[in-house]
A and B are shown apart, each in its own frame.
Chain A
């Protein structure tokens, strides 16, 4: 964005004029285009280009924030003065830090992907193609089925008074199929997506549609489960949801506020030996890699848990200063604060295949659906009780379909109870934050039917 370069000059001049020595200008822009189908036509289509300028500055040791979507040059002085005025009234003790900068070689290099923003026609065609593939996959596919395609592009620029000047541009596309299947007496739904396959990978899409239809059909005629303790194999996507729900426990800002039970646990064993958790801003295959965080600090790959031992929390500059450590480059940026975020955050794969995990479980439940984490889980205490569905495991093999039971436990206990981790890690769609896990086996969990 050339406009940013002219705006940053103005911001620099205005800040100098008003005696503001430490400041940062952050620009974020998202363009997207999407289409959805209903029955046999495109039901909605939208496109958007949205940019936002976020400014912060330090006045007398306090940091103030202001932001605007107006890219008008005349607006810049106002933006700077608003942030300065806000800094003057902030009373919290946190001192603001504008990053001093790092040498060029400290920044990793995101993998380069060819990305050209597709046109409306391509997106429309892709949505209709997915729709046709999904309907052809099974005669039970019926009304209510929605397919779609989207493309998105993100630009980030960061410029500060210490001369730091960084930029990032990434993009991706997705094709989604959400199918409703009707067997005459019951309707069931399943969905999945495939990424960066616009206008190609026809066979993969057919294969995916077949899987979606099978998943929905598998839900027909599900029975119930008796209350008790069961060996549970969590399907990868379900363990991913659990990990994502409790991700914030790994943020230093939460241990410092007393909102995470991992306070004071660095260096201690908090998980089973088979658990290694990594946070990687340069995860292979992710088309949304980024070399700097929300404060401009170089991002880097690190193990958060290594063979069960908590190696580090996730830090930004000010939380790191409080704990007397180096930042891990995990700052997030919003209009009124610096927070914490993860990049590609995942449990590393083990050695067992899904069949081997099921065989080792012997008798138990293979959990393939969990919902309601926003209400049924407490990120502070780690407690969760989640409505689930899946299959009985009988003689080490997948058995009858079951639904409407809750799996309850505590995340911090669960980390210690996992006995085995599957060998396949599916990272899912591209994203600035990705969360992933292989299948895991947890013996003796509480299930209420």
Chain B
């Protein structure tokens, strides 16, 4: 993207007032979204993001700047604006960059950009109409086909000079079922860090059918009763609770500032011994995977919690300085316009030894949360509230009638202690995670788990 000699000159400029570290992150990202509603291709977003973010550190101080002017003069101006603020000690440095290639552990077969637009349109329609035609009560379907070709280049004053290409594909379908003036919705949205071969693995028709099926179940469900219950949460997107209520408090972003309830607890028991939780950016072709993080550190598999004991945090360079710990491949940013910070990749509760049938049959009366929806967490208290998007009552060890509008209400520390059975079939679900460094793709995941007691909100 940018000549090596210019990068060296720009890094030296950024450090010309005494910074002890400088970094250039350059990006060229093509993204395509085909949107369909009312049975028609409604809009196409076809965008290229292209720019550079420069950061400099002096101790734990950080100054950043970004620009879309990629000329030598534009980059030098950007670096000068960083140098102007970070320090006041004139310094002359010679920076020598050495190219490094990290192995590509996420091979792509069909690069979406090389496919014909009509191929993508056909995929989009196949998914759309399988949802629309699933049942006569499906009143509306809204659907997106997204593909992203994200190319990054990172150079820093330690001599690192590397690149990565991250291709992602995702299909999302939201179906609305309607009867007697009442609306209920269902959703499915699988994605992977791969090309259009995703749809050889997961057919568009199956995505549409899943969204519509869930909407119809909800349309014919009664309201969920409220109260404290034993709850079994299904694998896949069920892991969103761990992600939101526990994962975020293990990011150095909050740990370094001591605003996390998990700060200072390394080596302590923070969860039931059944719980082992992992953040793994190396899973081949997973939605949240990468070869290197956005500071050029190779991605890693990190055991965050092992048998209930807190083992490590997710750490980026700047917060690593604040905490006196090494960065571990966790630094991420939405684009060059955001400052990177420690974030999750693919975060999940690891498979345990309990059989699924044993988990369900152990529940005398409770809730089986087959699909989870969105929710919110109060970062200070850890209190969370998540919608169950498809749920069933469990009675005498058997899954019975569906119930709608259930929610799970609790706190992160409480649910970690109350996970007392962990199944064997770990699955992941895809999401976009929003935080200070922007919106990034992450996988959540878990096997079927049992929470001995949690408040279920209903009516």
Contacts and interface: CB of A to CB of B under 8 A. Distances in A.
Interface of A: 33, 35, 42, 44-52, 64-71, 75, 82-83, 85-86, 88-93, 119-121, 124, 335-337
B158 interface: no
Contact of A48 (B74, B85, B337): B337
B303 interface: no
B67 A90 contact: no
Contact of B85 (A71, A86, A92, A120): A120
Given A50-B337, A85-B117, A124 B47 contact: no
Contacts of B46: 65-67, 82-83, 86, 336
Interface string B35-77: 0001011111111111100000000001111111110001000
Contacts of B70: 70
26 contacts: A45-B64, A46-B65, A46-B339, A47-B65, A47-B81, A48-B66, A48-B67, A50-B51, A50-B67, A50-B68, A65-B46, A66-B46, A67-B48, A68-B47, A68-B48, A70-B50, A71-B68, A75-B48, A89-B41, A90-B44, A92-B42, A120-B81, A121-B84, A336-B45, A336-B47, A337-B43
B50 A49 contact: no
A25 B297 CA distance: 40
Interface residues of B, number: 35
A45 B85 contact: yes
Contact of B40 (A82, A92, A335): A92
Contact of A49 (B49, B63, B67, B339): B67
B84 A120 contact: yes
The 10 closest A-B pairs by CB, nearest first: A68-B48, A91-B40, A336-B45, A69-B50, A86-B44, A66-B46, A70-B50, A48-B66, A91-B41, A120-B84
Contacts of A85: 117
A89 B339 contact: no
Contacts of B140: none
Nearest to A50: B68
B78 interface: yes
Contact of A44 (B41, B47, B62, B66): B62
A396 to B, nearest CB: 39
A88 B117 CA distance: 10
Contact of B41 (A48, A65, A92, A124): A92
A49 B44 contact: no
Nearest to A336: B45
Interface string B71-95: 0001000100100110000000000
A89 B121 CA distance: 8
B64 to A, nearest CB: 5
Given A336-B44, A336-B47, 4 more contacts: A44-B63, A45-B85, A48-B65, A82-B46
B28 interface: yes
B45 A65 contact: yes
Contacts of B67: 48-50
B118 interface: yes
Contact of A335 (B45, B68, B81): B45
Contacts of B65: 46-48
Contact of B43 (A49, A90, A120): A90
B42 A46 contact: no
Nearest to B116: A85
Nearest to B84: A120
Contacts of B48: 67-70, 75
Contacts of A92: 38, 40-43
B336 to A, nearest CB: 9
Contacts of B50: 68-70
A334 to B, nearest CB: 9
Interface string B402-440: 000000000000000000000000000000000000000
Given A44-B62, A49-B78, A69 B43 contact: no
Contacts of A70: 28, 48, 50, 70
Contacts of B47: 66-68, 335-336
A84 to B, nearest CB: 11
Contacts of A65: 43-46
A85 B47 CA distance: 13
A49 B51 CA distance: 9
Interface string B325-345: 000000000000101000000
Nearest to B80: A120
A78 B34 CA distance: 18
A82 B31 CA distance: 12
A91 to B, nearest CB: 4
B76 to A, nearest CB: 13
Given A49-B78, A50-B68, A70-B28, A336 B337 contact: no
A44 B67 CA distance: 18
Tell which of B34, B50, B117, B121 has the most Cβ of chain A within 10 Å: B50
Nearest to B71: A71
Contacts of A45: 63-64, 85
Nearest to B376: A375
Contacts of A68: 47-48, 50
Contact of A51 (B63, B68, B117, B121): B68
